[in-house]
């Protein structure tokens, strides 16, 4: 996970979203020295220059339009969240929970590398508003919670240093808690960026309690084996311009096919990494709206 986050920081600089000084500062927080950081930035720059600029997804989404200023999909029915906590494997875990009025199912939300922030809470509220109670877990809970970090870059660095096994164990605990909050309902997991990668890792660790999983632009683990997650219907999203994560799509596809899981992998045209995050500079309104509708349709088929 540390390598993935480091490459994301370098890519953000190459794409003009971070100054070189800020990128080097954030890489230093990860424990990467100036020389290694400069080499990583150069490598990401070379990859971008050599990239063909096309996605590798298996199902092309309808042609999108340029991003426009519009309310994010599902926001018209957003419900409030409330803090919840429970005993996890490494200590108390915190989350934001939004209860649907007439629940059709329940969803575990896995945040980006920024931790549990207001955007993630809004996503949980949107899912609840569409009929699916949502639990947005804070994977920085053992470190004091996302709110204890005044510097978002420090929160990201702290996440990068948590062993993958601990992250997955806390996600499994999140599935436990979701089951307690929504007894008798089918469960799903949705993750974004780092969280999307963690949804793939959760499937690789074996999580048959899920009826559906939706990783957004998350890297698939090497040598992925999803055989332990039988019964999970997987809907994966990629942005056509996100060459770094798209390079792992064939790995995910092969593992899904080998495990015999129902799946669909969608590449949103003209969209980049983090296209669903309406608070970020890569937000793509058309791609986000298309993805939201596809998720609703998927949940209507496999979760309700």
Distance CA 131, CA 288 (A): 19
What pLDDT score does 45 carry? 82
pTM for the full model? 0.90
Which residues lie closer than 8 Å to 163 by C-beta, 6 or more apart? none
pLDDT of residue 41: 87
Compute CA 300 distance to the chain's CA centroid, rounded to the nearest angstrom: 21
∠ CA 124-126-127, nearest 5°, is 65
What is the DSSP secondary-structure string of 78-95?
Answer: ----EEEEEEETTEEEEE
Question: Which superfamily does CATH assign the domain made up of 82-303 to?
Answer: Alpha/Beta hydrolase fold, catalytic domain (3.40.50.1820)
Q: Give the separation between CA 246 and CA 265, rounded to whole angstroms.
A: 11
Query: Phi and psi of 268, rounded to 5°?
Result: -85, 120
Rounded Cα distance between 20 and 13, Å, is 6
Question: Among 46, 4, 142, 33, which Cα is nearest to 86's?
Answer: 142
Please count the other Cβ atoms lying within 10 Å of the Cβ belonging to residue 28.
14
Tell me the C-alpha to C-alpha distance, in Å, between residue 39 and each of 24, 75, 119, 199: 11, 41, 33, 30
Note the pLDDT of residue 50. Answer: 67
pLDDT of residue 67: 43
Contacts 24+ apart (CB under 8 A), 17-23: 17/281, 17/282
pLDDT tens string for the chain (304 positions)?
A: 788 899 889 898 998 998 999 989 988 988 999 899 899 889 888 777 766 543 333 444 444 444 446 799 999 999 999 999 999 998 999 999 999 999 999 999 999 999 999 999 999 999 999 999 999 999 999 999 999 999 999 999 999 999 999 999 999 999 999 999 999 999 999 999 999 999 999 999 999 999 999 999 999 999 999 999 999 999 999 999 999 999 999 999 999 999 999 999 999 999 999 999 999 999 999 999 999 999 999 999 999 9
Q: What is the model's pLDDT at position 70?
A: 78
Helix (H) or strand (E) holding 253: helix 249-259
User: Which pLDDT does position 1 carry in this prediction?
Assistant: 75
Q: What is the pLDDT of residues 84-138, one digit of tens each?
A: 999 999 899 999 999 999 999 999 999 999 999 999 999 999 999 999 999 999 9
C-alpha separations of 255 from 145, 220, 239 in Å: 33, 9, 20
Give the pLDDT score at 3: 83
| pLDDT at res. 64 | 47
pLDDT (0 to 100) of residue 59: 43
- Rg (the chain; Cα; Å): 18
């Amino acid at each position: 996970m540390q390598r993935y986050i480091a490459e994301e920081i370098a890519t953000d600089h190459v794409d003009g979203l971070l100054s070189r000084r800020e990128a080097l500062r954030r890489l230093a927080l990860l424990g990467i020295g100036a020389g290694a950081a400069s080499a990583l930035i150069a490598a990401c720059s070379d990859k971008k220059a050599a990239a063909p600029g096309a996605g590798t997804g298996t199902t092309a989404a309808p042609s999108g339009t340029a991003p426009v200023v519009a309310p994010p999909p599902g926001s018209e029915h957003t419900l409030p969240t409330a803090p919840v906590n429970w005993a996890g494997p490494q200590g108390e875990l915190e989350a934001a929970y939004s209860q649907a009025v007439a629940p059709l199912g329940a969803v575990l939300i896995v945040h980006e590398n920024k931790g549990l922030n207001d955007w993630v809470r809004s996503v949980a509220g949107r899912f609840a508003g569409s009929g699916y109670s949502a639990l947005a877990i804070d994977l920085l809970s053992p470190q004091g919670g996302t709110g204890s970090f005044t510097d978002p870059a420090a929160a990201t660095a702290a996440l990068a240093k948590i062993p993958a096994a601990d992250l997955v164990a806390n996600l499994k605990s999140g599935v436990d808690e979701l089951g307690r909050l929504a007894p008798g309902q089918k469960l799903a997991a949705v993750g974004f960026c780092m969280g999307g990668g963690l949804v793939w890792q959760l499937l690789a660790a074996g999580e048959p309690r899920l009826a559906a999983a939706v990783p957004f632009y998350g890297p698939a683990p090497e040598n992925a084996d999803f055989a332990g997650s039988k019964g999970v219907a997987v809907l994966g999203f990629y942005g056509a311009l996100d060459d770094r994560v798209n390079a792992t799509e064939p790995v995910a596809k092969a593992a899904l096919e080998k495990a015999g899981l129902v799946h669909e992998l969608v590449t949103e045209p003209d969209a980049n990494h983090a296209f669903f995050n309406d608070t970020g500079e890569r937000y793509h309104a058309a791609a986000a709206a298309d993805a939201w509708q596809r998720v609703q349709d998927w949940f209507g088929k496999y979760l309700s």
